[in-house]
Amino acid sequence: MKKNPLILGIETSCDETAASIIQQEKNGVKILSNVVSSQTDVHKKFGGVVPELAARSHLEKIDLIVKKAIKDSGVEIKNIDAIASTGGPGLVVCLSVGLNFGKAFAASLNKPFIAINHLEGHALSPMLNSKIKFPYLLLLISGGHSQFLSVEGLGKYKRLGTTIDDAVGEAFDKTAKLLGIEFPGGAQIEKYAEKGDLNRFILPKPIINRGGCNLSFAGLKTAVLKISKNLKSKKDKYDLAASFQNTIEEILSHKSKVAFNEFKKRNKNKSNIFVIAGGVASNKKIRIKLKELSLKEKFQPIFPPIDLCSDNAAMIAMAGLEKYKKKKFDSLNFAVNPRWQLDEKANFMKGAGVKL
């Protein structure tokens, strides 16, 4: 392997067009550029991501974003050692843009191409600024996923628990919509919550005392929907946001404690590292709560920096770098995999009839 490999990462799985160049250095990884272009303006009038519009926007921007990432990094194209693009999971029409761009770029430079699981990008994102060793416990909380995983090596994941219905980020976004906040409103809920009374509304915590560290948020969403119909003032909205935020904190703390025990048992107490990643991990109060819990339970909490919690290409380049070191390259025939799981042996756990 070359001494200080340079990896170009490309991400287009949902509504962010992103490219980044990172380099392995002696004492860690350096992010040389990290360009993220969000499509919030394209989708906000629809209240959610419209796949065809997202794909069109990726197509319009991908060339510029990759060029900017290369320019910002100051490296010469010919010195890039491998190209890593997100291959799944995500929206098929969106994934295709970044994956095909990456393949064409790799072919034209005659450099290795690496397909990345977007969730593996989130899982390894703390390696961009911390030195961590496998195994570790991961809580992945984003707009599309909510899972506890035992991360046991590159590509080696054991799912300990997952949501049986909505993802945490989805619950934040839906609550925001009910409070009249523009999509995507997750981050705004945190601001509303700061001004409200967290004890004003008692909200349900579905499957809190059963189902191991599996999660469920559908019942909470229904309760928020019912209350939201009778809100009169701004203060009412702040109170509902605060009660919602507090309920999420309590669910995540309680289930993390269950996951700690399952992780310790599985890994025979060999590690006490707890990584919290994904868009919702940028929520400051969730960070504080999970930090407090970890210290009490003798776990070491690790969060990526806030700007690397939400979708970005530096995390895709990071997963690419780890695969590059192990020469795990992919062929240019690699097909988009919109349902790519980290733990491919885990049971399907969504919808009515799920046994817990």
**Contact set with ligand KG4 (CB under 6 A):** 142-144, 169, 172-173, 184, 186-187, 190, 278-280, 282-283, 310-311
CB closer to Zn ion out of 240 and 318:
318
Nearest distance in Å: CB 94, ligand KG4: 12
d(CA 98, CA 112): 16
How many CB atoms within 10 Å of residue 30? 14
- Which of ligand KG4, Zn ion, none lies near 120, with the C-beta cut-off 5 to 8 A by kind? none
d(CA 308, CA 285): 17
Nearest distance in Å: CB 167, Zn ion: 10
d(CA 91, CA 14): 6
- Which of Zn ion, ligand KG4, none lies near 310, with the C-beta cut-off 5 to 8 A by kind? ligand KG4
CB closer to ligand KG4 out of 306 and 356:
306
Nearest distance in Å: CB 195, Zn ion: 28
- Which of ligand KG4, Zn ion, none lies near 198, with the C-beta cut-off 5 to 8 A by kind? none
Nearest distance in Å: CB 339, ligand KG4: 14
Nearest distance in Å: CB 347, ligand KG4: 22
d(CA 69, CA 101): 14
Q: For residue 311, what are its two tokens?
A: 């979708």
Q: What are phi and psi of 133, to 5 degrees?
A: -115, 150
- Which of ligand KG4, Zn ion, none lies near 186, with the C-beta cut-off 5 to 8 A by kind? ligand KG4
d(CA 178, CA 341): 31
- Which of Zn ion, ligand KG4, none lies near 184, with the C-beta cut-off 5 to 8 A by kind? ligand KG4
Positions in the binding site for Zn ion (CB under 5 A): 142, 311
d(CA 149, CA 61): 34
Dihedral of the CA atoms 119, 120, 122, 124 (nearest 10)?
170
CB closer to ligand KG4 out of 11 and 239:
11
CB closer to ligand KG4 out of 4 and 40:
40
CB closer to Zn ion out of 90 and 112:
90
Nearest distance in Å: CB 63, Zn ion: 23
CB closer to ligand KG4 out of 23 and 216:
216
d(CA 101, CA 299): 41
CB closer to ligand KG4 out of 135 and 186:
186
Own/partner long-range contacts of 39-48 (Cβ < 8 Å, ≥24 apart): 39/15, 40/15, 40/183, 40/184, 42/15, 43/15, 43/183, 44/182, 44/183, 46/183, 47/177, 47/183, 48/183
Nearest distance in Å: CB 144, ligand KG4: 4
Nearest distance in Å: CB 121, Zn ion: 7
Strands 6-11 and 16-25: antiparallel
C-alpha angle with apex 329: 153 to 56, nearest 5 degrees?
A: 105
CB closer to Zn ion out of 98 and 211:
98
- Which of ligand KG4, Zn ion, none lies near 173, with the C-beta cut-off 5 to 8 A by kind? ligand KG4
Report in angstroms the alpha-carbon separations of 219 from 204, 297, 308: 7, 29, 30
Amino acid at 175: T
